[in-house]
Amino acid sequence: MDIDTLSEKIVAGDRRALSRAITLIESSRADHRDQAAQLMERLKGAGRQAIRIGLSGTPGVGKSTFIESFGKMLTGQGLRVAVLAVDPSSARSGGSILGDKTRMEELSRDPNAFIRPSPSQSHLGGVARRTREAVAVCEAAGFDVVLIETVGVGQSETVVAEMSDLFILLIAPAGGDELQGVKRGIMEIADIILINKADGDLKPAATRTCSDYSGALRLLRKRPQDPQGFPKAMMVSALERDGLQKSWEEMTALTEWRKENGHFASRREAQARYWFEQEVRQGLLAKLDTPSAREAMQSFAAKVAEGGITPTVAAQELLQGLRD
Ligand code: GDP
């Protein structure tokens, strides 16, 4: 199928075309990369805009339960929901989050939902590009909400926050020193913290955890992109489907406010700049990852070690050589 036809079908809502496009995006073959780049250019003009919601939390906190319940609630309201993932562990384990077919069983059968596991790639950078492009394809395909899930480890939250309009952190109720487990940096990028499992025996602990996080969020520096009361912490039960509508109302209220005040557009502009710079950096690094570049690196390194040339001059000469 040529790229024009593929693009038209995606915009017309053809799910097979959508899956096919994402497979193309995930391919590392050079000709596929070129086609994917052409496709992204075509789809750019579709002029559709979803709410992109990043969602993070440690394993076991209830991410898949939440996505299943929250996703079903949204599709029940006539919204179309896409679920994508950035999984930093997939490179190591070969498996991936969302890869397990038993997760989100109901949602995966829903005609108004589209679920795609994380691509397995060796670099977080590679996964980031593919997920970011998949987000754009889903948006062009007319999805109203794109959820981007990640496990709360390492840098993956930052990567997801850089491709989301809203960033949601899922936390489990805890006793004792609740805030210890969450890095300050993650708190700073969260727009809404959801204390999950606020049900049954866990309800009192959830209430305490929620009040602790509310307190901690109030101490953070005020951000220009936040209206009064944000970022905020609130309780939900993904299992009992409690608090989900309220959380969605908060998400839409925040999004509306940001749209009215120019912050929505400026965040996307800043993200486009960020990803452009990342692509340039990665492109330069890829130039070092060729057999001839590695050979040159070794031979310069040997000369530097022998004292025949200074590190600075050696680096300049090597980089000069790469440019040709
Ligand atoms: P993930 O690893 O973050 O995707 O977490 P899962 O969605 O797989 O959930 C981990 C465990 O927590 C499962 O046993 C769920 O049934 C349970 N769980 C998830 N959400 C809730 C909730 O709202 N309340 C309670 N009590 N348990 C939950």
Q: Which of 10-19, 115-124, 172-181 has the highest mean pLDDT?
A: 10-19
- The pLDDT tens digits of the residues spanning 32-51 come to 989 999 999 999 878 889 99
Of 242, 261, 280, which closes a domain?
261
- Amino acid 75 reads T
Q: Are residues 218 and 296 both part of a single domain?
A: no
| Residue ranges in the chain assigned as alpha helix (H) | 3-11, 15-26, 30-44, 63-76, 90-93, 105-109, 124-140, 156-161, 184-189, 203-219, 244-260, 263-288, 291-306, 311-323
Any domain includes 16: yes
Query: Is residue 205 lining ligand 1, measured as CB closer than 6 Å?
Result: no
User: 65 and 36 in one domain?
Assistant: no
For 150-178, the pLDDT digits (tens) are 987 667 888 899 999 999 999 999 865 55
Question: Does residue 237's CB lie within 6 angstroms of at least one atom of ligand 1?
Answer: yes
Together in a domain, 83 and 113: yes
Residue 184 lies in a domain: yes
| CA dist., res. 30 & res. 35, Å (int) | 9
Same domain? For 218 and 315 the reply is no
Those residues whose C-beta lies under 8 Å from the C-beta of residue 219, and which sit 6 or more positions away, are none
H, E, C per residue of 80-122: CEEEEEECCCHHHHCCCCCCCCCCCHHHHHCCCEEECCCCCCC
CA-nearest residue, atom 6 of ligand 1: 62
95 and 218 share one domain: yes
Please list, in sequence order, all residues whose beta carbon lies within 8 angstroms of the beta carbon of residue 27, skipping any fewer than 6 positions away. Answer: 33, 36
Q: Same domain, yes or no, for 65 and 175?
A: yes
CATH of the domain at 253: 3.40.50.300
Backbone angles phi, psi at 52, to 5 degrees: -95, 120
Which domain covers residue 300, as residue numbers? 288-323
Closest by CA position to 74, among listed 66, 84, 62: 66
* Pocket probe mutation, ligand 1, options 239, 240, 241, 244, max atoms within 8 Å of Cβ: 239
The domain spanning residue 18 has which CATH number? 1.20.5.170
| Residue that is written with structure tokens 């994917």 in the block | 36
Which position has the token pair 């999004």?
255
Q: How far apart are CA 180 and CA 203, in angstroms?
A: 20
- Is 292 found in the same domain as 238? no
Same domain, 256 and 170: yes
* Tally of domains in the chain: 3
Phi, psi (degrees; rounded to nearest 5) at 63: -60, -50
Residue after which a domain boundary falls, among 261, 278, 309: 261
Whether residue 267 lies inside any domain: the answer is no
302 and 201 assigned to the same domain: no
Q: Which of 61, 64, 65 to mutate to test the pocket of ligand 1 (most atoms within 8 A of CB)?
A: 65
State the distance from the centre of ligand 1 to the C-alpha of 61, rounded, in angstroms.
6
Unique residue bearing structure tokens 């965040």: 267
156 CB within 6 A, ligand 1: no
pLDDT recorded at residue 247:
98
- Rounded to two decimals, what is the model's pTM? 0.89
